[in-house]
Structure 1
Amino acid sequence: MDGSGLPEIRSTCPYCGVGCGVLLRPDGEGGIAVRGDPEHPANHGRLCSKGSALGETVGLDHRFLSPVVDGEQSSWDDALQLVADRFSDTIARHGPDSVAFYVSGQLLTEDYYIANKLMKGFIGSANIDTNSRLCMASSVAGHKRAFGTDTVPGTYEDLDEADLVVLVGSNLAWCHPVLYQRVLAARKSRGTKIVVIDPRRTASCNDADLHLALQPGSDVALFNRLLSEIYESGAVDPGFVAHTNGFDSALDAARNEQASVTGLNDRQISEFCRLWIATEKVVTIYSQGVNQSSSGSDKVNAILNCHLATGRIGTPGCGPLSVTGQPNAMGGREVGGLANMLACHLDLENSDHRAAVRQFWDAPAIPEAPGLKAVDMFQAVGDGRIKALWIIHTNPAVSMPDADAVRDAIAACPFTVVSDITGATDTARLADVLLPATAWAEKDGTVTNSDRTISRQRKVIDAPGQARPDWDILAEVARRMGFTSAFDYASPAEIFREYAALSKVAAQLGRDFDVSGLSNISDTHYDDMEPRRWPVTSTREGGRFFGDGAFFHPDGKARFIPVRFKPPAARTEPRFPFRLNTGRLRDQWHTMTRTSLSPRLSAHLSEPFLDIHPADATALGLSAADLVRVTSPIGSSILRARITDSVQQGNVFAPIHWTGETAPSARIDALVAPVTDPVSGQPESKAGVVSVTRFAAAWYGFAVSRAPMSPQSDYWALSRTEQGYRAELAGSAPVPDWEAEAQRLFGSRSAKVASVIDAGRGIARVALHEDGVLTGALFASPSPVAVMRDYLQSLPGRKAVDPLSGRSRADLPNPGPVLCACFGVGINTILDAIETKGLITVDAIGEALGAGTNCGSCRPEISDLLHAARTREAAE
């Protein structure tokens, strides 16, 4: 115990699908200390930069603490009665399909179960879908087509035992760094080789033996070529293929494929095929680059076909592994959180399954047809078919494709409820009713990670204000709608027992998901439950699937799916010549409602950007740090140009995280067309088409402040710092009075103003002080502002400082931009150590400075710094 006298509590990280265990110690004052749980099987004590910074995200500044109705505080009684009445009235007038729930992988399994039970069993509609539709629906579809169920065959231990790990559309080093460290550990201990298949050169490529920079969307062609080579080289396992159907059709499709569409040469493709075929223990990890595609399901099945053909599935060190983006995306799949599923992997369109669930729930009705998937759902909101909408713990006004249209649809919906922890999101600001829910450290329940491990998320601190658990909110609304006995729950443990009992029914119907061994778990044993990998029955716990050749189609066999390359839905053309790829950053999460609260997570890459190839930048007349307008057929954004050969010529990349709260011109999903995979309904977010032009800024600015700012320019990006806030700014119209603009920006008309303004050159520097303390400083010029940003952001709140030079004194250290977010180590600190201490390896820098020794996700960038230093030395 520490000085607080409170013990550590075992819980689970609320970020990605790795499902890392965390040890949390409350300080007794609303804060918590966080460290990795060395006993959790997912991470063995490791955490990424985001997990390490969880303690910085539990403050109350961003929280709303009581229900809000039409912008006014309300009681729970009034708010919940209004929600129940409006949903009931809408259903009575327009039918059950006139309402919808849009939920989230941020929900715990027990929350998810109640939402699904209410919508499908008692409202009688399947109009419940989840933001996991944007993440892994294609993997679900591929699994079901091949295996008969949505089954993840292997476990994380396969990464420790594999001799070849293939990363397909996965920047594992940044997006799932704890798993990536397991891969690197296997590389060190057993010589595991790494292949990265990705149009971009990402951080995961630094340790790769082979990087295949294929053309966007061409994965099917590559894996079809692999399947053909598997056959031609005699590597097919006939004994295993006997447990399957459709091999000949899949092979015929593969042999007629033209691998040239990948853009790879024959040597690269042959090298990959030889390596894959010659290595018995192969794990193929795939993520959003595969799933987020108009042919995502086919990409998944192209990968699965190769593992089925060789029998490399369900045995140690072998198999396909879909890594999910959210902490409980798997739990949502298990409880039927998708519009086309029932709970416990039962099929909505199977009459026997519907009857079984209806009987188990004693429900009035189960819908016979799938509901509206995410993209279709918001189109139905927009055209008036959906008249009452409940959004829970997600931000679709930013994260959905065609985000502007989604935002407008939500705004026009007759009745919108949002359950969340903050009202400061693009979506929450559109709600008629805001319901304050508990945050991750206040929740109690379970989550399931990417390898089927169920872990407890435990309450560590009390819920603030009037915040309530999601299951409790949903169950209370259900009771007020008249479904009293079916939703009379007292605890998450009671919900979990019911869910586990339903899984026994599913198992009797031939489904894979079975945790019936936990159906009688006591409240005490639920509280104390250790991580458990399903299935959990009276005869079996955990392990791998399919090594025995037993699958879940009616005949017990797997199915090969014949697939052919289909180009991305949008085609480049003279008006839109660039292919847009979108994705995640190392230190940010979704729309940053949590990670933006941490100054150190914002310190690495603090503003939105567009990666563009040097040749394309030259052709467009772009220079480093220019702003660019990126335009698609449906929307436009302004981003900072980052010129880099990590993207191919003709391709650009932008991160997904910025919102109307942090950088309104950079809402990147406003550019992404609502095109979906016809099988999975998952949107294509990796292959849009755009034009890029230089943004004609009349001025550029940089500002730091102690309090939140109020930017109003064409472009601005706001982030937190240890001392307050920083902002990048730009405008297309001249500013007539920079002192007045600074006062407006910082919200202070009474502060003492100091300025240096050269109107002729368009340069302005303005500082505001109150009682001798710097409250804000603004720097502007006709070109991108050249000042020491990291030094300046440390000044607000300090007395007797003069920031107008924009530079630190020569005798003060300047660590530079943070590179290692875990330990706050800056680029200049690392460069100085390389130069003055003669450090020549990443490990040596880690030993000297700590950088790269926690999650390891900054190691590729440290390696790049070392390479650049060696290159300079060689040139000198």
Structure 2
Amino acid sequence: MSDCTTRTTCPYCGVGCGVLATPGKDGVAIKGDPQHPANFGRLCSKGSALGETLDLDGRLLHPEIGGKRAGWDESLSLVAERFSQTIAEHGPNSVGFYLSGQMLTEDYYVANKLMKGFIGTANVDTNSRLCMASTVVGHKRAFGADIVPGCYEDLELADLVILVGSNMAWCHPVLFQRLQSAKAERPQMKIVLIDPRRTKTAEMADLHLPIAPDGDVALFNGLLQYLADAGQLDQSYIDRHTNHFDEALTAAKMSLKALHAKTGLSADQLAEFYRLFAQTEKVVTCFSQGVNQSSEGTNKVNAIINCHLATGRIGKKGAGPFSLTGQPNAMGGREVGGLATMLAAHMEIGNPAHRELVQRFWQSPAMASEQGLKAVDMFDAVANGKIKAIWVMGTNPVVSMPDANKVANALENCPFVVVSDIMADTETARFAHVKLPALGWGEKDGTVTNSERRISRQRAFLPAPGEARADWWHMAEVGKRMGHPSAFDYRSASDIFAEHAALSAFENNGTRDFDLGEYASLSPKDYEKFQPTLWPRRKGQKGVSQRFFAGGHFFTPDGRANFVATPTDTETALAQPTKLRLNTGRVRDHWHTMTRTGKSAALSAHIAEPYCEISPGQAAKIGVRTAELVEISAAGQKVLARAIINPKLGHDQIFVPMHWNGNFSSNGRINALVPGKTDPFSGQPALKAAQVDVRAANMGLYGFMVTQATPAELHSTYWAKAITKKGWRVELAEKDAARAIEKTVRAMSGLEIGAADAHYHDPKTGQHRLAWFAGSQLQCALFLATEPVAVSRAWAVDQLAQIFETPAERYRLLAGRPGKDMPDPGPIVCSCFSVGANQIADAVKGGCTSVAAIGEKLGAGTNCGSCKPELSEFIDEFTLSAAQ
């Protein structure tokens, strides 16, 4: 390893991969850390492209007040003054913090200490509420504490891995790669995918159960009943280590007719799954957003846990329920009380003894005495004026929250809004009275905790840009200015981590699950050398416990796990049969609201615009063809997206990704259509259950553009932009045609339609193709048609890097596709090596019958491996068509 290489941790999903970052003259080289126990050197496409996201373009580099540059002292003093004034006039519950699973544990700790211990309110919540809050409540109801019992190794040791509501191939790609490797070594391992959609993950599954939306509780209740009827319970374990089994079993009982109706599964599908579970001792059930983002998410979690408790399959190698966390530090945030319903160190805000203990440790003057407002309720309180000052850190709720336009209106009318972020212009930052520049990945220093409870270091390897400072420093300085100088006198992240560890061990003596006592006196030097470790790490503990509950002891008052009754009488059918159910989620190569991944040409090459998956039947019903635009609407709001007709999608469903926003598309904020309905126990929004109308957008003109210029003003009814290696690509559409397109071209590139250097017009077909050059370099090419433009996108993007010496070469460009001597790669599938669909299809037709063979020929799938499920699809589709 080079002397200038830094060991750090990826800032994306909850897998928590180790990264080797090496700054150099040409940027930062990124590799997976072979020594990190989460990934052993593997990285996904997003992690591999981290080096492309580190430029300072668009960064917030100094504090701003009212949109004008300000100094740190002035800005922090204003924040402290306005928060103090608001509290004095309206009480502590009139202020709030909204945090992010992107923040480091040390940042989270200071935020919670300031709000809960010194301001005296628990109105501090996080976007993790949108991610894993139902798991938190499910764990606490069953285990007495928020504990993931197992570790990643269990996925490789299991004989049956069940993936519930998890598109692991795209959302946790490195875990998926570990699972693929394990199955390759042990082909007898079985994988079951439970998901209404046939996602890329299904390519590896032995069994895909296309369950009806929100049918999960019924499915696992049916499994519990099956286990009881088939004599497959571990009655000894139930008797010795659990409570309330009879109540759970009674609540689970239903007729076969009701079970089929609620799950949408046939008798054969149910029987095959139930037999697999009953007859396999080593079972891991992984669940993610498809379980959590539901109005009955907590009951889904407990229905799954019930089946593991009933068979004693918990705390053992290769067996247990396993929550796959969405964000890089959602777990770390939970450890320091990041949610409004918790205290630091997994203690309970509703427990007087816990409150007293934390208050004594912090020596706090004003301890919060009750739970604060959860995310949806917090922004409702901003909207109705109960919260009059809010500080948003490292997240973009105007895009990511349900009922997103209501959130925007709430922030617009809030008397005082503070935003800490790395980017100057997010859709949330536009409402800020004060903006504070934060450090980004590669600049900040601290810890994160992944899905298997492993704490790892994020280390700085780049200098702080401009005046940016760590989030914890922002809050500590405000705490000092609010009258608490000694409580927030931190010199570094290591000071905060040591205090956090000391609190976790304070009067613990093994009674609480979360304990980092081993690090309570950690020096800055040892903090710098900190190696990835699972918790708990009790002081004097010999070795590290990989799993919880192996001995049957839980953190409930009586030490026994609780079965939780999860009734299935909840109505899960569509309330309005004429509407479609909107499912939202992630794509492979983008992250959250694209403030980081939107900077990467490689990541934007795979999917470059918002899209809507729709079934063939629904597409025919509304009269829309592939690649045309659809309008998705609900409650007076609408979104425009590209139609992708998916024959594997249920007729009453659509799928739209959640990433696109006003910085990358004209109207792609899909969460503006999602109501704020939440789980009654966890407060987690049902982000996958909106009722929507879908119709053809009926555009009169479509356009596609590649341009050297950075798009500034876009005026078309529909537009979506994505960065490329040499410029930008832009999709355009307009109800009534050329005038708006021409205006867009002029505003964006300073070019006149009539001044094109090469042009082609066909009035009969409505096609217009134009190109502008500066010397031999292409400046801009614009393709217009009355239907979706038939131009090879990957090829057109590549033309920005080519040399055009002759008029013939320029006019050849207008064909929109390469000549016979220049094969068209097709849409990009492998982001790492820019391998397109046409190249892969040709390789399969030429005899590449395995993913490995495609990799050997083209390189696809040999770096991060994230595209392997799609490579498998090419092979399967060719094999199927050849057999017909």
TM-score (norm 1): 0.97
Contact 1:634 1:672 in 2 (8 A): no
Contact 2:769 2:781 in 1 (8 A): yes
Q: CA deviation at 1:722?
A: 1.0
Instruction: Give the SS at the match of 2:799.
Output: coil
Match of 1:854 among 842, 863, 869: 863
The residue that corresponds to 1:674 in the other structure is 676
1:243 maps to amino acid: H
Match of 1:129 among 125, 128, 131: 125
Are 1:211 and 2:215 counterparts? no
The residue that corresponds to 2:842 in the other structure is 832
2:690 maps to amino acid: G
1:244-293: CA deviation from partner (whole Å, max 9, x where unpaired): 11000001111236312101011111110110010000000000000000
Alignment of structure 1 residues 128-207 onto 2, 5 Å: 128-190=124-186, 191-207=188-204
Query: For the residues of structure 1 that align with 2:568 and 2:831, how far apart are their CA atoms?
Result: 40
The residue that corresponds to 2:621 in the other structure is 619
Instruction: Between 228-237 and 339-348, report the one with greater CA deviation.
Output: 228-237
Q: CA deviation at 1:781?
A: 1.4
Q: CA deviation at 1:872?
A: 4.0
Match of 2:710 among 708, 711, 716: 708
The residue that corresponds to 1:355 in the other structure is 356
Query: For the residues of structure 1 that align with 2:537 and 2:284, how far apart are their CA atoms?
Result: 25
2:545 maps to amino acid: G
Alignment of structure 1 residues 573-584 onto 2, 5 Å: 573-574=576-577, 576-584=578-586
Q: CA deviation at 1:506?
A: 6.3
Instruction: Give the SS at the match of 1:486.
Output: coil
2:302 maps to amino acid: N
Q: CA deviation at 1:849?
A: 1.8
Are 1:643 and 2:645 counterparts? yes
Q: CA deviation at 1:632?
A: 1.9
The residue that corresponds to 1:256 in the other structure is 254
Contact 1:17 1:450 in 2 (8 A): yes
1:660 maps to amino acid: G
1:794 maps to amino acid: D
Are 1:793 and 2:797 counterparts? yes
Instruction: Between 249-258 and 92-101, report the one with greater CA deviation.
Output: 249-258
Instruction: Between 753-762 and 631-640, report the one with greater CA deviation.
Output: 753-762
Q: CA deviation at 1:614?
A: 0.9
Query: For the residues of structure 2 that align with 1:256 and 1:835, how far apart are their CA atoms?
Result: 50
Alignment of structure 1 residues 501-580 onto 2, 5 Å: 501-505=502-506, 507-508=508-509, 510-537=511-538, 538-540=540-542, 541-565=544-568, 567=570, 571-574=574-577, 576-580=578-582
1:407-436: CA deviation from partner (whole Å, max 9, x where unpaired): 111111111111111012111122111111
Instruction: Give the SS at the match of 2:728.
Output: strand
Instruction: Give the SS at the match of 1:815.
Output: coil
Alignment of structure 1 residues 327-342 onto 2, 5 Å: 327-342=328-343
The residue that corresponds to 1:864 in the other structure is 873
Instruction: Between 866-875 and 99-108, report the one with greater CA deviation.
Output: 866-875
1:214 maps to amino acid: I
Contact 2:666 2:717 in 1 (8 A): no
Alignment of structure 1 residues 686-765 onto 2, 5 Å: 686-709=688-711, 710-736=713-739, 739=742, 741-748=744-751, 752-754=755-757, 755-759=759-763, 761-765=765-769
1:352-373: CA deviation from partner (whole Å, max 9, x where unpaired): 1101111100001111111110
Contact 2:745 2:752 in 1 (8 A): no
1:719 maps to amino acid: A
The 1:634–1:542 alpha-carbon spacing in structure 2 relative to 1, beyond 3 Å, is farther
The 1:240–1:585 alpha-carbon spacing in structure 2 relative to 1, beyond 3 Å, is same
The 1:210–1:797 alpha-carbon spacing in structure 2 relative to 1, beyond 3 Å, is closer
Instruction: Between 235-244 and 866-875, report the one with greater CA deviation.
Output: 866-875
The residue that corresponds to 2:480 in the other structure is 479
Contact 1:402 1:671 in 2 (8 A): yes
Instruction: Between 486-495 and 177-186, report the one with greater CA deviation.
Output: 177-186
Query: For the residues of structure 2 that align with 1:747 and 1:511, how far apart are their CA atoms?
Result: 64
Q: CA deviation at 1:779?
A: 1.4
Contact 2:716 2:744 in 1 (8 A): no
Contact 2:213 2:572 in 1 (8 A): no
Contact 2:134 2:301 in 1 (8 A): yes
Match of 1:767 among 759, 771, 783: 771
Q: CA deviation at 1:813?
A: 3.1
The 1:446–1:49 alpha-carbon spacing in structure 2 relative to 1, beyond 3 Å, is same
Instruction: Give the SS at the match of 1:341.
Output: coil
Match of 2:828 among 818, 822, 834: 818
The residue that corresponds to 1:244 in the other structure is 242
The 1:12–1:350 alpha-carbon spacing in structure 2 relative to 1, beyond 3 Å, is same
Q: CA deviation at 1:799?
A: 4.5
Contact 1:707 1:724 in 2 (8 A): yes
Are 1:498 and 2:499 counterparts? yes
Q: CA deviation at 1:761?
A: 4.3
Q: CA deviation at 1:805?
A: 2.6
Q: Tell me, which stretches of 5 or more residues in structure 1 are unaligned?
A: none
Query: For the residues of structure 1 that align with 2:72 and 2:588, how far apart are their CA atoms?
Result: 38
Calculate percent identity across the aligned residue pairs: 53
The 1:587–1:597 alpha-carbon spacing in structure 2 relative to 1, beyond 3 Å, is same
Query: For the residues of structure 2 that align with 1:774 and 1:387, how far apart are their CA atoms?
Result: 52
Contact 2:734 2:740 in 1 (8 A): no
Query: For the residues of structure 2 that align with 1:202 and 1:835, how far apart are their CA atoms?
Result: 24
Contact 1:580 1:687 in 2 (8 A): yes
The 1:363–1:43 alpha-carbon spacing in structure 2 relative to 1, beyond 3 Å, is same
Q: Tell me, which stretches of 5 or more residues in structure 2 are unaligned?
A: none
Query: For the residues of structure 2 that align with 1:507 and 1:139, how far apart are their CA atoms?
Result: 24
1:730 maps to amino acid: A
Paired positions, count? 869
Instruction: Give the SS at the match of 2:606.
Output: coil
Instruction: Between 458-467 and 280-289, report the one with greater CA deviation.
Output: 458-467
1:820 maps to amino acid: C
The residue that corresponds to 1:265 in the other structure is 266
Instruction: Between 281-290 and 764-773, report the one with greater CA deviation.
Output: 764-773
The residue that corresponds to 2:406 in the other structure is 405
Alignment of structure 1 residues 263-412 onto 2, 5 Å: 263-412=264-413
2:253 maps to amino acid: R
The 1:313–1:91 alpha-carbon spacing in structure 2 relative to 1, beyond 3 Å, is same
The 1:725–1:566 alpha-carbon spacing in structure 2 relative to 1, beyond 3 Å, is farther
The 1:23–1:141 alpha-carbon spacing in structure 2 relative to 1, beyond 3 Å, is same
Q: RMSD value over aligned CA atoms? A: 1.7
Alignment of structure 1 residues 47-126 onto 2, 5 Å: 47-126=43-122
The residue that corresponds to 1:229 in the other structure is 226
The residue that corresponds to 1:684 in the other structure is 686
Contact 2:222 2:254 in 1 (8 A): no
Contact 1:580 1:688 in 2 (8 A): yes
1:544 maps to amino acid: R
The residue that corresponds to 2:788 in the other structure is 784
The 1:166–1:634 alpha-carbon spacing in structure 2 relative to 1, beyond 3 Å, is farther
Query: For the residues of structure 1 that align with 2:446 and 2:489, how far apart are their CA atoms?
Result: 17
Query: For the residues of structure 2 that align with 1:841 and 1:376, how far apart are their CA atoms?
Result: 51
Contact 1:572 1:579 in 2 (8 A): no
1:851 maps to amino acid: A
Q: CA deviation at 1:665?
A: 1.0
